[in-house]
Structure 1
Amino acid sequence: MGLKQAIKSIDAFPRAEDHLLQKTQSGAFVSIVGLIIMASLFLHELGYYLTTYTVHQMSVDLKRGETLPIHINMTFPSLPCDVLSVDAIDMSGKHEVDLDTNIWKLRLNNHGHIIGTEYLSDLVEKEHAAHNHDDEKEHHDDLDQKLHALGFDKAAENMIKKVKQALTNGEGCRVYGVLDVQRVAGNFHISVHGLNIYVAQMIFGGVTQVNVSHIIHDLSFGPKYPGIHNPLDGTLRILHDTSGTFKYYIKIVPTEYRYISKEVLPTNQFSVTEYFSPMNEFHRTWPAVYFLYDLSPITVTIKEERRSFLHFITRLCAVLGGTFALTGLLHLMIL
């Protein structure tokens, strides 16, 4: 037997003579169905191959000497911007009062519309045009006399009158921006602690009159990556006929997101628990909203990866070959 005949003997795809083949309508129907199924499976496998998936890895956090960016976007519907301050303290002993780094405040009217903007360190705004009503003038004259009698200077008097008018008008405040703090455990809080205690007493009359109702539009500790969930986004806490201090205990997990392009995005995830402490007129501290954070010693690396081409070919052969065999079996059953 020659080489040519030897090669023909191992042919796994023998072909019948044309006059022995018979084409039927049922065979055509099964063939069309099989082709549709194979085309659908091919497109599905192609999409599966082209999409990326993420792999999570954990390791010890070795970062040193970096800062922690805190992105804040909150609304206080019942407190004017003039009385709100952002304070931060960490375990290293660093204490900053009324932070002015990349923090802005938006004055809001009682409908939530913006009526003014100021940088947080700027505690003086241009006065709006006064409404010269006689009853208001008499009220301001009485207040001036009372403030002078208590020994307040002119700046404090103007501050008190301005805030009282804002409270009467139902003004609120939106605080937003970025805090850059040391990468150690600590807390930051938004409150009226920046006020002199006597000035605060003249404005509110007592701690129970300070309404720290708030809406957290966004709170994050770094840039966002695909699939991240910040648990405090959209939080709404409104107080009615009560006052107190909100505390959010946050556990920050350092995170690196590695894109398929090898670009690395350093950021942070966090979990949170919440606690509310009501106050009465006998409390000596003023209500506030605290965010107490601590950092995990473990960092999470999230990597985007794509399936190998050989994996794609293997799955493709399996589904297409299986479909061809199944349709052949179906055709034999029909016959």
Structure 2
Amino acid sequence: MARIPSLKSLNAFPHAEEHLLKKTYSGAIVTILGLIIMFTLFVHELQFYLTTYTVHQMSVDLKRGETLPIHINMSFPSLPCEVLSVDAIDMSGKHEVDLHTNIWKLRLDRYGHIIGTEYLSDLVEKEHGAHHDHDHGHEHNDEQKKHEHTFNEDAEKMVKSVKQALENGEGCRVYGMLDVQRVAGNFHISVHGLNIFVAEKIFEGSSHVNVSHVIHDLSFGPKYPGIHNPLDETSRVLHDTSGTFKYYIKVVPTEYRYLSKKVLLTNQFSVTEYFLPIRPTDRAWPAVYFLYDLSPITVTIKEERRNFLHFLTRLCAVLGGTFAMTGMLDRWMYRLIESVTNSKTRSVLR
């Protein structure tokens, strides 16, 4: 086959110059340095390719007939477990007693060590009338006054037991999960489960109820990579005062889609906090309220990985650029050494 003369001019890889084929110490140093740089850049590009990133999208929430899981983990260092109750009410006013719940109360000593446990199967106060007495300060009728003077032995024992626990500095840790209807509502932790007269006997007034608390964890569903719950590790400690804490929470339905196509249904939330100090004329008793509302927007978070061809393009650019740079450096060092050597030779001949 005859060779085409003009084809030779298209060769992009001509033979290297003769001096570039000589092996020198400077060339070895440049080669080793170039290999180190190329290996470092290769590892960096490989990690960049293998690292996933997330893409956020928003759409209208179309979920219906589902429940909202609420995970609670809180400590009350100044209130014994015997006086604490958990109450959940949705927007319709219905008490959430028919849903699956799993709440525990742990008795704590003054140093925060667990000294006992109690399982809550029913979160709602058994006497809803007492709840209204605590919240709204309704006037007591004759039957209630009669009840005040006819304390049974169980009530007296409870008053004595709680007072002893308060003297010992006992606290309580409440943790577990509420499964409520997927509508706006609230849940609160307070002493509202006590009969109003028992509460008066124990605390001698609402101003002596210290609802200092630490929120170790509060979430509305399972956690996904990168989630931030703004109330985690929140501490609110009261000194020589009392009052009601209210947390206004906006829940945002969230779907997290993994690379494996697995979908995790959960929720994010934002929160605004408000504290209302107790006044001597107030009939309401201190509590910690969590009032939540659902956003009509769903956030979808997708895990994605960079395109393989994009990875190859970047890799070729990095390695090729490094190779060209080391070649130029090698040529420059060779010429520098050669010029220095020739200069010395000429000076000796003179």
Q: Shorter-chain TM-score: what band?
A: 0.7 to 0.9
Alignment deviations for residues 101-134 of structure 1 (CA, whole Å, 9 cap, x no partner): 21110111222111111112489xxxxxxxxxxx
Contact 1:207 1:286 in 2 (8 A): yes
**What is the alpha-carbon distance in structure 2 between the residues aligned to residue 275 and residue 163 of structure 1?**
29
For structure 1, which runs of at least 5 residues remain unmatched after alignment? 124-146
In structure 2, the CA distance between the partners of 1:182 and 1:96, relative to structure 1 (3 Å rule), is closer
Aligned residue in 2 for 1:80? 80
For structure 2, which runs of at least 5 residues remain unmatched after alignment? 124-145, 336-350
Contact 1:100 1:119 in 2 (8 A): no
In structure 2, the CA distance between the partners of 1:100 and 1:152, relative to structure 1 (3 Å rule), is farther
**What is the alpha-carbon distance in structure 2 between the residues aligned to residue 163 and residue 82 of structure 1?**
7
1:119 aligned onto 2:119: yes
Q: Percent of aligned positions with the same letter in both sequences?
A: 78
Matches within 5 A, 1:15-26: 15-16=15-16, 21-26=21-26
Number of aligned residue pairs:
312
Contact 1:100 1:120 in 2 (8 A): no
The aligned amino acid for 1:214 is H
**What is the alpha-carbon distance in structure 2 between the residues aligned to residue 122 and residue 230 of structure 1?**
27
The secondary structure found in structure 2 opposite 1:261 is: coil
The aligned amino acid for 1:302 is I
Whichever of the two has the greater Rg, that structure is 2
In structure 2, the CA distance between the partners of 1:16 and 1:113, relative to structure 1 (3 Å rule), is closer
Deviation of 1:94 after TM superposition, in Å, equals 1.3
Alignment deviations for residues 144-199 of structure 1 (CA, whole Å, 9 cap, x no partner): xxx99821122222222221221122111110000011111111100011111111
In structure 2, the CA distance between the partners of 1:80 and 1:17, relative to structure 1 (3 Å rule), is closer
Aligned residue in 1 for 2:247? 248
1:270 aligned onto 2:269: yes
Contact 1:70 1:179 in 2 (8 A): yes
Matches within 5 A, 1:222-237: 222-237=221-236
In structure 2, the CA distance between the partners of 1:32 and 1:15, relative to structure 1 (3 Å rule), is same
Deviation of 1:8 after TM superposition, in Å, equals 5.3
The secondary structure found in structure 2 opposite 1:181 is: strand
Deviation of 1:54 after TM superposition, in Å, equals 1.0
The secondary structure found in structure 2 opposite 1:303 is: strand
**What is the alpha-carbon distance in structure 2 between the residues aligned to residue 74 and residue 20 of structure 1?**
73
1:33 aligned onto 2:33: yes
Deviation of 1:88 after TM superposition, in Å, equals 1.2
Contact 2:102 2:176 in 1 (8 A): yes
Deviation of 1:5 after TM superposition, in Å, equals 6.5
The secondary structure found in structure 2 opposite 1:194 is: coil
Contact 2:90 2:181 in 1 (8 A): yes
RMSD: 2.5
The aligned amino acid for 2:105 is K
**What is the alpha-carbon distance in structure 2 between the residues aligned to residue 148 and residue 55 of structure 1?**
62
Contact 2:75 2:172 in 1 (8 A): yes
**What is the alpha-carbon distance in structure 2 between the residues aligned to residue 72 and residue 20 of structure 1?**
71
**What is the alpha-carbon distance in structure 2 between the residues aligned to residue 61 and residue 122 of structure 1?**
31
In structure 2, the CA distance between the partners of 1:100 and 1:158, relative to structure 1 (3 Å rule), is farther
The aligned amino acid for 1:94 is K
1:219 aligned onto 2:218: yes
**What is the alpha-carbon distance in structure 1 between the residues aligned to residue 112 and residue 331 of structure 2?**
73
**What is the alpha-carbon distance in structure 2 between the residues aligned to residue 303 and residue 174 of structure 1?**
36
Aligned residue in 2 for 1:65? 65
Alignment deviations for residues 240-296 of structure 1 (CA, whole Å, 9 cap, x no partner): 111000011111111111111111111111111111111122210000000111111
Aligned residue in 1 for 2:290? 291
